[in-house]
Amino acid sequence: MYIIIFLIIFLILIIINYNIEKFENISINQYKDIIINNDEKEIFKIGLSKDIKLETENCYENCDEQNCIKLDEKKKILEKCLKCNSQKNKCFKKSIIGGNCEDCLMNEDKINCYNTNNFGCSNNNNINDNNGINPYYFQINDNNINSPYNKKCVFCWNIINNL
C-alpha cells in the first residue's frame, strides 16, 4: 500500500518537473520580438480595449505637434497610395519621402497601401495583424503627465511600446 502511494507521488513529481521545464523566463524585449517576428500572427490576437476611442481629428489640440505632423503625413500618403492604386495601370512606388504614382511595370503587383509595413496602422482589434487601417491616435489617462486632462496621446505607430 505504501509502495503504491510512494509510486503515485513519485510519478506526480516527475510530471510536474517535466511541465515546469517546458516554460522559460523571457524578457519583455524577447516577448516583443516573438510577437513582431511571428509569421502566424493570428495566434497572438491582441486588441485594444473597446473603451478606447480612436481619434483622427483635433490632434494639435490634444497632442504634441511633431507626432500630429507625422499623423497628417501618414494620412496624406495613405490617401495618395489608395488613389493611385485605384487607377488602371498605375502603381504607387514607395520612397523615403512617401512615394509616387507611376506607370506599373509589366506584371507588377500593386502594393497593399493598408499593410502596416507600408502606410496602414495597426488594427485596433488585432494589433499584430499586418492588415492595417487608417492612421489614428488615442488618449489614455496618465497621472504623470502635466496636462489639464492628465491624458497621454498614443499614436498607432507606437502602440507596441505602450503595452
pTM for this model (two decimals): 0.65
Reduced to 3 states, what is the DSSP secondary structure of residue 104?
A: coil
- Max mean pLDDT range (72-81, 98-107, 136-145): 72-81
Domain ranges in the chain are: 46-162
The grid coordinates of residue 78 equal 495613405
Choice among 3-17, 44-58, 108-122 with the minimum mean pLDDT: 3-17
* Cβ count within 10 A of residue 16: 10
Residue 20: is its pLDDT beyond 60? no
Which pLDDT value is given to residue 38? 60
Residues 27-56 as b or e (16 or more Cβ within 10 Å = b): eeeeeeeeeeeeeebeeeeeebeeeeeeee
Region of poorest pLDDT, from 22-31, 51-60, 137-146, 152-161: 22-31
Banded pLDDT at 37 (limits 50, 70, 90): low
pLDDT tens across 92-113, in order? Answer: 999 888 899 999 998 889 999 9
pLDDT the model gives residue 161 = 60
Assigned C-alpha cell, 157: 505607430
